[in-house]
């Protein structure tokens, strides 16, 4: 025992292993203490039972097997000494069988802990692998992205979003959207090899790509080659589909991964905001902090509500066959810096969190109803699910809908597709009651959400307004055009009218008509204008015209 301890101590170089060696050598010392000191043999038993967890917590993973073998050797030798030496004070309390069982149990316990250590090591390795590698795409994750910036030089960083991902998810169901992402990742991995760069799975459904630029390479050239590598049809569920991509990129030289992500994400937001396929970081956007913008918007919103300077503008929805105005959509505009702001969405989002929403919706309904019941013809207004929960608002809509119907006009309620997808039975019954009172129900921005199309079409719907992204995608892709035409036929089968949003040119209007849309809406006919400038609707009643 002494020789074994000395050899192990001599070979040990690190402090923790010295402690382990000392603990193991204490086995025979505990045996001697218990064997030759009457009444103290319990010391060895206690030591025997307490050592495995101490050893397991101290032993380094790389040398676990070495220490485990050394412990087994010491315990086995100590157990053998019981049988050979047979100290009287031990034998009087324990038989040979009990001694063997005691030490055997100890070895089994230690072996189980050894197996558990191996399994935990394997589990931790798998966990670490999942953190740095995405299972769906097979690409490294954002964690690996942050570690990929090494060395000096210009680094090209781009974020890639699948712009028609939502449309495909809505068509096939969200459960198979991961398959679409995996297919897209396979194409990006091919591009990665082609361009000698590195691809990564980022947040959500975005994919990142980085490449160190050579002396003769430009970021624009990399973007062009990347788009070429990603273009072309893909096979999914036995049919050809084509993915549309939107990119935001930047070039950095300081190796700051977080900064590159912020800049590329900002460029991607610019592309989405302006309807571009590709946008570069310019450094000119977001000069004012988000906090300053929020405070300024809140002050503008509060002033508009208190001073009643909210404007209700109208944009016509035109029949593609006859060119007549079918109805006008009411749109809120907020007075800011001496003019009406054309981007009211940020104010409406703020109104939903500051308690101003109800006052704004009541004001728009009042203006809309006056036009619909006067000589302006059919009018639509956007409402949210929270509006259906207000009894006074529902009663006002029912009253104005009956008045409009009596005046040979119509009030149309536009509800976002995402709200339809999450509508419960209670709100659905409220919507049916409003429809019975004379309102028409329209799905707004159809194609922007993740909902399943078949479920949407089971709702009480009279009009489906297709988001402009679907129209633009259909123009670029034959597969997407076939998808839109199939949805239009579905709308026709259930008796719903269809509107193509975002029509800005004559060519796009003709394309929408060729696809089979009933109506169009966009700047080609008119921007949203004040009530005094808006032309009255020419088609009454709307349904059946």
Q: Are 249 and 280 in contact (CB under 8 A)?
A: yes
Residues 220, 325: one domain? no
Q: Taking the model in full, what pTM does it have?
A: 0.51
What DSSP designation does 543 have? Answer: T
- At residue 91, the pLDDT reads 46
Is 285 inside any structural domain? no
Residues 183, 247: one domain? yes
Q: Are 137 and 204 in contact (CB under 8 A)?
A: no
Nearest partner of 82 among 66, 104, 67, judged by Cα: 104
Is 296 inside any structural domain? no
Mean pLDDT score, 257-276: 83
Task: Between 138 and 457, name the one with better pLDDT.
Answer: 138
For 392-416, the pLDDT digits (tens) are 999 999 999 999 998 889 999 998 8
The answer, yes or no, to whether residue 450 has pLDDT greater than 50, is no
Phi, psi values for residue 123, rounded to 5°: -65, -40
Least confident segment among 35-44, 320-329, 364-373: 35-44
Q: How confident is the model at residue 47 (pLDDT cuts 50, 70, 90)?
A: low
Residues 16, 107: one domain? yes
157 pairs with which residues across the strands? Answer: 210, 250
Omega before 120 cis (within 30°)?
no
Q: Are 474 and 480 in contact (CB under 8 A)?
A: yes
- At residue 209, the pLDDT reads 87
Q: Is 122 exposed, middle or buried (0-12, 13-18, 19+ CB in 10 A)?
A: exposed
H or E element at residue 41: none
Residues 313, 341: one domain? yes
Q: Indicate which CATH number applies to the domain containing 182.
A: 3.30.70.270
Is 104 inside any structural domain? yes
Decide which of 246, 280, 314 is a domain's last residue. 280
Is 414 inside any structural domain? yes
Residues 92, 182: one domain? no
Phi, psi values for residue 149, rounded to 5°: -90, 100
Is 171 inside any structural domain? yes
d(CA 430, CA 397): 11
Residues 117, 155: one domain? no
Residues 119, 210: one domain? no
Residues 169, 125: one domain? no
Q: How confident is the model at residue 27 (pLDDT cuts 50, 70, 90)?
A: low
Q: Are 195 and 211 in contact (CB under 8 A)?
A: yes
For 10-20, the pLDDT digits (tens) are 444 455 555 55
Average of per-residue pLDDT values in the chain: 76
Mean pLDDT score, 245-257: 84
Q: What angle do CA 303, 309, 315 make, to 5 degrees?
A: 130
Decide which of 95, 113, 132 is a domain's last residue. 132
Rounded to an integer, what is the distance from CA 390 to the centroid of its chain? 31
- At residue 20, the pLDDT reads 56
* Tokens found for residue 276: 């571009």
- At residue 78, the pLDDT reads 60
Sign of CA dihedral 99, 102, 104, 106: negative
Residues 337, 485: one domain? yes
Is 112 inside any structural domain? yes
Is 473 inside any structural domain? yes
Sign of CA dihedral 217, 218, 223, 224: negative
Helix (H, G, I), strand (E, B) or coil at 521: strand
Residues 235, 338: one domain? no
Helix (H, G, I), strand (E, B) or coil at 501: strand
Domain count, the chain: 3
Q: How confident is the model at residue 94 (pLDDT cuts 50, 70, 90)?
A: low
Helix (H, G, I), strand (E, B) or coil at 245: strand
Q: Indicate which CATH number applies to the domain containing 465.
A: 3.20.20.450
Task: Between 71 and 442, name the one with better pLDDT.
Answer: 442
Decide which of 105, 132, 159 is a domain's last residue. 132
Is 99 inside any structural domain? yes
For 339-389, the pLDDT digits (tens) are 887 677 778 888 887 888 888 999 999 999 999 988 889 999 999 888 888
Q: How far, in Å, are 20, 152, 381 from residue 214 at the CA level?
A: 54, 12, 54
For 121-170, the pLDDT digits (tens) are 676 666 656 666 777 777 777 767 766 666 567 888 888 888 777 666 66
Q: What angle do CA 380, 383, 386 make, to 5 degrees?
A: 165
The percent helix, strand, coil of the chain (3-state, each to 5) is 55, 15, 25
* Tokens found for residue 210: 């980085």
Residues 414, 517: one domain? yes
For 472-501, the pLDDT digits (tens) are 889 988 888 998 998 999 899 888 999 999
Task: Between 95 and 215, name the one with better pLDDT.
Answer: 215
Q: Is 250 exposed, middle or buried (0-12, 13-18, 19+ CB in 10 A)?
A: buried
Q: How confident is the model at residue 7 (pLDDT cuts 50, 70, 90)?
A: very low
Residues 365, 423: one domain? yes
Q: How confident is the model at residue 440 (pLDDT cuts 50, 70, 90)?
A: very high
Task: Between 23 and 444, name the one with better pLDDT.
Answer: 444
Order the strands of the 207-212 sheet from edge to edge: 198-201, 207-212, 155-162, 245-252, 278-280
d(CA 448, CA 164): 9
- Provide the domain limits for residue 102: 2-132
- pLDDT above 90 covers a percentage of the chain that reads 21
Task: Between 374 and 230, name the one with better pLDDT.
Answer: 374
The answer, yes or no, to whether residue 418 has pLDDT greater than 80, is no
- At residue 2, the pLDDT reads 47
Rank 252-256, 414-418, 449-453, 540-544 by mean pLDDT and report only the highest: 414-418
């Amino acid at each position: 025992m002494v020789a074994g301890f000395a050899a192990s101590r001599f070979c040990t170089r690190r402090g923790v292993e010295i402690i382990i060696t000392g603990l193991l050598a204490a086995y025979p010392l505990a045996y001697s203490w218990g064997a030759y000191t009457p009444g103290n043999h319990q010391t060895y038993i206690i030591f025997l039972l307490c050592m495995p967890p101490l050893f397991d917590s101290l032993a380094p993973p790389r040398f676990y097997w070495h220490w485990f073998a050394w412990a087994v050797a010491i315990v086995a030798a100590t157990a053998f000494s019981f049988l050979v030496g047979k100290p009287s004070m031990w034998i009087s309390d324990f038989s040979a069988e009990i001694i063997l069982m005691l030490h055997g149990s100890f070895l089994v316990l230690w072996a189980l802990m050894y197996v558990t250590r191996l399994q935990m090591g394997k589990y931790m390795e798998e966990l670490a692998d999942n953190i740095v590698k995405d299972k769906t795409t097979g690409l490294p994750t954002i964690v690996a992205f942050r570690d990929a910036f090494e060395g000096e030089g210009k680094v090209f960083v781009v974020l890639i979003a699948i712009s028609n991902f939502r449309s495909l998810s809505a068509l096939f169901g969200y459960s198979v959207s991961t398959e679409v992402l995996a297919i897209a990742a396979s194409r990006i991995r091919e591009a990665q090899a082609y361009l000698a760069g590195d691809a990564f799975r980022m947040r959500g459904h975005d994919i990142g790509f980085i490449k160190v630029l050579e002396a003769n390479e430009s970021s624009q050239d990399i973007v062009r080659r990347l788009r070429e590598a990603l273009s072309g049809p893909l096979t999914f569920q036995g049919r050809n589909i084509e993915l549309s991509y939107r990119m935001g990129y930047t070039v950095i030289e300081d190796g700051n991964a977080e900064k590159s992500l912020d800049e590329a994400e900002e460029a991607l937001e610019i592309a989405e905001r302006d309807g571009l396929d590709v946008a570069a970081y310019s450094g000119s956007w977001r000069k004012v902090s988000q906090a300053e913008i929020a405070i300024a918007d809140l002050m503008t919103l509060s002033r508009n509500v208190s001073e009643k300077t909210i404007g209700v503008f109208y944009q016509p929805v035109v029949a593609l066959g006859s060119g007549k105005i079918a109805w006008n959509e009411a749109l809120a505009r907020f007075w800011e810096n001496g003019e009406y702001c054309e981007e009211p969405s940020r104010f409406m989002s703020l109104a939903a969190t500051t308690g101003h929403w109800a006052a704004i919706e009541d004001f728009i309904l009042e203006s809309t109803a006056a036009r619909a019941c006067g000589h302006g013809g059919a009018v639509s207004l956007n409402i949210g699910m929270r509006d259906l929960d207000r009894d006074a608002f529902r009663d006002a809509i029912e009253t104005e809908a009956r008045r409009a119907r009596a005046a040979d006009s119509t009030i149309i309620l536009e509800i976002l597709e995402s709200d339809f997808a999450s509508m419960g039975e209670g709100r659905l019954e409220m919507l049916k009651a409003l429809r019975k009172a004379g309102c028409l129900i329209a799905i707004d921005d159809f194609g922007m959400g993740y909902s399943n199309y078949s479920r949407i079409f089971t709702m009480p719907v009279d009009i489906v307004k297709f988001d402009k992204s679907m129209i633009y995608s259909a123009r670029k892709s034959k597969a997407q055009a076939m998808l839109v035409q199939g949805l239009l036929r579905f709308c026709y089968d259930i008796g719903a009218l269809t509107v193509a949003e975002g029509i800005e040119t004559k060519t796009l209007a003709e394309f929408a008509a060729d696809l089979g849309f009933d109506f169009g809406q966009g700047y080609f006919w008119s921007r949203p204008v004040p009530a005094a400038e808006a032309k009255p609707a020419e088609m009454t009643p709307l349904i059946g015209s």
